[in-house]
Structure 1
Amino acid sequence: MAARTTVQAFFDDKTFTVSYVIVDNASHCAAIVDPVLDFDFKSGRTSTVQADRLLAYVRQHGLTVQWILETHAHADHLSSARYLQERVGGRIAIGEHIREVQATFKKLYNLERNFLPDGAQFDHLFKDDEVFHIGEVEARALLVPGHTPADMAYVVDDAVFVGDTLFMPDVGTARADFPGGDAHTLYASMRRILALPPQTRMFVCHDYPPAGRTPAWETTVAEQRAGNIHVRDGITEAEFVRMRQARDATLDVPTLILPSIQINIRAGQLPPAEDDGISYLKIPLNVLGGKA
């Protein structure tokens, strides 16, 4: 039986992020997952090198973009969702618990009064287990909190797109120490994903390859259950939580967390320009610790 969907990956070697274009082969309708907006922290300049790679693919194959799917409000790259939408359309969507993340970070950044943490910046907020379609292909949104309260995984045809919840088996799992994160919750979310059929293809949002391995982003549920260094079958919740909390205590704050989240909770929109016509990012001083 011929595959119903084609998945094209785009790896950004600056942020180690993998974005995807999912195509329904019958209708040529598509969804874009976790697109990257390039950002140079030193100069404060954005650019669209990574987003333009996705645009070129969409245009080359004559695709109709129906969805731009975010798995969560990323802390390690800016989103190009709005830039892409302005050029190829599609509804920007994320999990409904983004409202909790917005409320937390509105307070952290002391955002403008008219920024409302109601999710209205996005075109659609998925509920847990909500069914949607990419062309003729049925897809399902799964709430998988723990890394953040709003993390979603998207099951499409024979594949699942897991965001930051799981990495490749030799890398492990997401951290759980961001605001609203919780290692116990993360464990339950991962077991939910790992309960999918063993042959389910799994696509991750990041790869940090160990020495000697080139970047990779596709695995399977069976491979994760057999070999994930943090959460393979046989590792209990207590063991995972103990490992995850100890490991997270050693991790630095992500380099782009402060610029990225204030863009990403706006669905990839830059902050409103001030009276000089320029958009500004805010960096709260002496709020985050040396370790996240």
Structure 2
Amino acid sequence: MLKPSVKFFLHELTSTFSYVVWDPETRRAAVIDSVLDYDAHSGQLNTETADELIRFVRDQQLTVEWVLETHAHADHVAGGAYVKRELGGRTGIGQGIRTVQQHFKDVYNLERGFQADGSAFEHLFEDDETFEVGNVEARAIPAPGHTSDHVAYHIGDALFVGDSLFMPDGGTARCDFPGGSARTLYRSIQRLFELPEATRVFVLHDYRPGGRNYANETTVAEQKRNNIHVGGGRSEAAFVKLRTERDATLGLPTLIIPSVQINIRAGQTSPAESNGLRYVKVPLNHTRGFSQTQRDEDVPV
């Protein structure tokens, strides 16, 4: 199996890792989960973090084939549209984005012209669809549970797990967003654990348990043995109990309102209104659209 090269970029404000992964032979690359900077106080967007990634790609003389998202993120603003504009490539996400778009189109009462059909992205990956990054074989593995649209990207010997797994001492991501399910996440992770144990695992977030330094790379073997939520052979029932109880204590991510509205559009803002300005909406006194209202055992899997 070919081993791609991987470079990470950390957005400290949201503890988010973006990745450039490339075939060292052809210099063809994919960008995964890029980030825009957003100031919640002023509503200002800027591209400082994405520009660092873009400079690296240009300095390394890489050709971007794919600009990928693991899901429609709720905790940071995606930079995919900007990265594509600067570097080219096709934007891609899992086919489940349609369901997420429809849900939040209704919550935010988005403009009539917004199409909840995934067409904001250039490619919607089917379950287990294969593709290539240069000469490196890749596969989009469905990994729902955190969200219903979540996919992991297995590129050569590298696995980009998005929000399904954190570092082993961080456990797993929450499952109380619309379409989320702890039971489904457990089953998705067990499928990822079927990959070769030496597979490199790259996480999307690291919240530095105990105040340690940031970390973003582990292996399937380390996750299977040591992940504090699903490692060591923990049962599905035990995981669902642990995850559900923990999720009940969590508040909403700080940037969920601007993030979701932009990210379901592949990192693009809403159309300019008659005064030439673009907006994000803030629903008042409304939370049901943002968190799971069903009990986990009632969610179809």
The Cα offsets for residues 54-110 of structure 1, whole Å up to 9 and x where unpaired, read as 100000001100000100000000011111111110100000010000010000100
Which residue does the alignment assign to 1:134? 133
SS in structure 1 at match of 2:209: coil
Structure 2 residue 230 is matched with structure 1 residue 231: yes
Whether the 8 Å contact between 1:4 and 1:26 is mirrored in structure 2 is no
The Cα offsets for residues 147-193 of structure 1, whole Å up to 9 and x where unpaired, read as 01000000011110000000000000010000000111010001111
Structure 2 letter corresponding to 1:48: T
The Cα offsets for residues 184-213 of structure 1, whole Å up to 9 and x where unpaired, read as 101000111111111100000000011241
* TM-score of the aligned structures, taking structure 2 as reference length: 0.95
Which residue does the alignment assign to 2:30? 31
Which residue does the alignment assign to 1:208? 207
Which residue does the alignment assign to 2:152? 153
In structure 2, list runs of 5 or more residues that go unmatched. Answer: 292-301
Which residue does the alignment assign to 1:285? 284
Matches within 5 A, 1:1-292: 4-288=3-287, 292=291
Shift, 1:4, TM fit: 3.5
Q: Which runs of 4+ in 1 moved over 6 A?
A: none
* In structure 2, distance between residues paired with 1:85 and 1:26: 22
SS in structure 2 at match of 1:252: coil
In structure 1, list runs of 5 or more residues that go unmatched. Answer: none
Which residue does the alignment assign to 2:295? none
Structure 1 letter corresponding to 2:192: I
* In structure 1, distance between residues paired with 2:13 and 2:44: 15
SS in structure 2 at match of 1:14: helix
SS in structure 1 at match of 2:14: coil
* In structure 1, distance between residues paired with 2:233 and 2:203: 22
* In structure 2, distance between residues paired with 1:27 and 1:158: 17
Structure 1 letter corresponding to 2:64: V
Percent identity over the alignment? 56
* In structure 1, distance between residues paired with 2:111 and 2:212: 45
Structure 2 letter corresponding to 1:80: G
Structure 1 letter corresponding to 2:120: Q
* In structure 1, distance between residues paired with 2:83 and 2:260: 18
Whether the 8 Å contact between 2:3 and 2:158 is mirrored in structure 1 is no
Structure 2 letter corresponding to 1:202: V
* In structure 2, distance between residues paired with 1:194 and 1:262: 33
Whether the 8 Å contact between 1:9 and 1:18 is mirrored in structure 2 is yes
* In structure 2, distance between residues paired with 1:211 and 1:149: 30
* TM-score of the aligned structures, taking structure 1 as reference length: 0.97
Shift, 1:256, TM fit: 0.5
Kindly tell me the number of residue pairs found equivalent between the two proteins. 290
Shift, 1:233, TM fit: 2.9
Structure 1 letter corresponding to 2:117: D
Whether the 8 Å contact between 2:4 and 2:158 is mirrored in structure 1 is no
* In structure 2, distance between residues paired with 1:279 and 1:65: 29
* In structure 1, distance between residues paired with 2:169 and 2:209: 8
